[in-house]
Amino acid sequence: MNTYDTLVEELKRIHALGEVSNLLDWDEQVNLPPQSGDFRARQSAAMSAVVHREATQSRVGDLICELEQSGDLDSGQQLVLAEARKDFDRLTKIPEDFVAHKAEHLSKSYHAWAKARAENDFASYAPFLDENVKLAREEAAFLGRADDPYDYWIDRFDPGMDAATIERIFSGLKVELVPLVREILDSPIKANTHCMRGFPVERQESFLREVTAKLGFNYERGRIDRSLHPFCSGNAFDTRMTTRFFEDNPLDSLFSSIHETGHGLYEQGLPHEHVGTALGQSAGMAVHESQSRLWENQVARSREFWQYWESSYREAFPEQLAGVSSQELYLAVNAVALNPIRVDSDEVTYNLHIVLRFELEKALFDGNLSVMDLPSEWNRLSEEILGLRPGKDSEGVLQDVHWSGAAFGYFPSYCLGNLLAAQLWYALQEQVPEVLSEIAQGNFVPVLEWLREKVHRHGRHRFAQELSRDVTGKELSHECLIRYLKERYLPLYR
């Protein structure tokens, strides 16, 4: 076996073990008995240590060095090598005692956050968050990024992206989106989201299985289960989505399942023979999110989608939908309302929640904002951007788990994903003109095949910005998202 093949074999073995760790997490959220948490924590810690040690063996480093010196690799192999180097450096340049200290601190930080949110007490959590920012800076410094720690973290989630690019894109977005939100909210037309009640969970489940299978999710290589918060984990060989059910909010589980299906379809579309290397790995969080959002929003909130599904939906829930007109249903699917909570927000206002978080993160890392001043700045900016001042910190600065885990630079991906989804959506319609009429007939194959061809099969060959250029012929920007939101929402709310 040659050196490259040997490296690939090692990477695949490490990936398979990493996926065992991920399965432990999945199982914890889906199956774990209530009192089995302590033992699972021991198992997870032992597995993490094993995976870390496997991924940092000197043998892996030696193979990488050898290949870097030999130079006889094609472009795909070069990508695999470069990404393997990046992963290896990240794992080996950060000292073990720092990793241990950080893990211990983050565990405390998580509990401090959960307590602070429950008790609406930012001050008790502030020292932990302050330390999280410091740890994030230190970690960046270990990788030679002491001067641009925030860019380091953005790149961790979206390779090739940086704060300056995001700032430029988000500024354009904000200018257009703030008045658009205002216009929709000022409309006398309001969606009635309370008209859908008493949807039996079993029937919701069988309906969403029918929908997600029709969209193309391969249940021969995947599952959907229930968990407190929906998520998608696993890989192309075994993709595991979750959802949750509310009898009085059936659109929640339906749309979050379609969202997770978008993630799942991406994973299932990555080249199977390359799973475990960069060629079989997603191109970052923004691209991942573009897939979930495109299916959830552009596809599943469209007139055409509901032209096809409305009759089956009414068949599954005849009494529940008897008093709901088609227009009321479609308006409920596309409800817009200001909400202080990001995860409860619609696809229009959601992006402003992200802009807010990005501006705060950037200020924190630029040194223009201290953790102590974060709540007041959150509230001020929230009023400025969203037109809404949270009633209390638990509905404001304390609402998200991310910062408690030192996951800075992650929030922008959500909005970048929305931008990319809209951009892909128009490119799809240009390149496959019949796509909307096919959707209206319940044929989702053209959407999936196009995404497979343009996005999925490339693995990490194209990160968000190159993907945008290559597939849509344009730089990633706010334009398509604004166009999409205007085309979808203004006719509805005018």
Query: Taking the complex as a whole, how short is the minimal distance between the CB of residue 35 and a second copy, in angstroms?
Result: 4
Question: Among residues 139, 260, 359, 479, which one is catalytic?
Answer: 260
The residue among 31 and 107 lying less far from a second copy, judged by its C-beta, is: 31
Question: Does residue 270 contact residue 282 with C-beta atoms inside 8 Å?
Answer: yes
First to last CA, the chain: 66
The residue among 187 and 218 lying less far from a second copy, judged by its C-beta, is: 218
Query: Taking the complex as a whole, how short is the minimal distance between the CB of residue 30 and a second copy, in angstroms?
Result: 9
Tell me, residue by residue from 189 to 228, as one string, x for binding to a second copy by CB under 8 A and - for no binding. Answer: -----------------------------xxxxxx-----
Neighbour-count burial of 72, counting CB atoms closer than 10 A to its CB (0-12 exposed, 13-18 middle, 19+ buried): exposed
> Which position among 7, 8, 47, 254 is part of the footprint of a second copy (CB under 8 A)?
47
| Binding of residue 31 to a second copy (CB under 8 A) | yes
> Which position among 43, 227, 312, 429 is part of the footprint of a second copy (CB under 8 A)?
43
Residues 271-330, interacting with a second copy (CB under 8 A): 275
> Which position among 25, 29, 32, 307 is part of the footprint of a second copy (CB under 8 A)?
32
AA identity, residue 95:
P
Question: Does residue 472 contact residue 423 with C-beta atoms inside 8 Å?
Answer: yes
Q: Rounded to whole angstroms, what are the CA distances from 60 to 17, 70, 167, 198?
A: 15, 16, 38, 56
The residue among 110 and 237 lying less far from a second copy, judged by its C-beta, is: 237
> Which position among 110, 142, 237, 426 is part of the footprint of a second copy (CB under 8 A)?
237
User: Which among 369, 374, 367 is positioned nearest to 404, based on CA atoms?
Assistant: 374
Query: Taking the complex as a whole, how short is the minimal distance between the CB of residue 45 and a second copy, in angstroms?
Result: 8
Question: Does residue 448 contact residue 216 with C-beta atoms inside 8 Å?
Answer: yes
d(CA 263, CA 295): 9
Residues 57-86, interacting with a second copy (CB under 8 A): none
| Binding of residue 471 to a second copy (CB under 8 A) | no
Angle among Cα 17, 22, 28 to the nearest 5 degrees reads 130
199 sits in the region (left: phi over 0; alpha: psi -120 to 50; else beta) called: beta
> Which position among 7, 8, 11, 24 is part of the footprint of a second copy (CB under 8 A)?
24
Neighbour-count burial of 494, counting CB atoms closer than 10 A to its CB (0-12 exposed, 13-18 middle, 19+ buried): exposed
d(CA 66, CA 196): 62
Query: Taking the complex as a whole, how short is the minimal distance between the CB of residue 312 and a second copy, in angstroms?
Result: 25
Q: Which residues pair with 223 in a beta bridge?
A: 240
Residue bearing tokens 């089956």: 312
Query: Taking the complex as a whole, how short is the minimal distance between the CB of residue 46 and a second copy, in angstroms?
Result: 5
| Binding of residue 16 to a second copy (CB under 8 A) | yes
Query: Taking the complex as a whole, how short is the minimal distance between the CB of residue 42 and a second copy, in angstroms?
Result: 5
Q: How many residues bind a second copy (CB under 8 A)?
A: 34
| Binding of residue 35 to a second copy (CB under 8 A) | yes
| Binding of residue 424 to a second copy (CB under 8 A) | no
Contacts for 488 with CB less than 8 Å, ≥ 6 apart: 301, 302, 334
| Binding of residue 40 to a second copy (CB under 8 A) | yes
Dihedral sign for Cα atoms in the order 243, 246, 247, 252: negative
Per CB under 8 A, the segment of 15-23, 85-93, 392-400, 485-493 that binds a second copy is: 15-23
| Residue 220 annotated in active site | no
Contacts for 125 with CB less than 8 Å, ≥ 6 apart: 109, 112, 113, 115, 116, 398, 404
> Which position among 121, 130, 167, 238 is part of the footprint of a second copy (CB under 8 A)?
238
The token pair at 296 is 């959830």
Q: Which residues pair with 232 in a beta bridge?
A: 241
d(CA 449, CA 52): 37
Which value, to the nearest 10 degrees, does the dihedral of the CA atoms of residues 126, 128, 134, 137 take?
Answer: -100
d(CA 279, CA 325): 47
The residue among 159 and 222 lying less far from a second copy, judged by its C-beta, is: 222
> Which position among 6, 25, 29, 54 is part of the footprint of a second copy (CB under 8 A)?
54
Per CB under 8 A, the segment of 47-55, 342-350, 410-418, 435-443 that binds a second copy is: 47-55
| Binding of residue 437 to a second copy (CB under 8 A) | no
| Binding of residue 50 to a second copy (CB under 8 A) | yes
**Interface with a second copy by CB under 8 A: which residues?**
12-13, 16-17, 19-20, 23-24, 27, 31-36, 38-40, 42-43, 46-47, 50, 54, 218-223, 235, 237-238, 275
Active site residues: 260
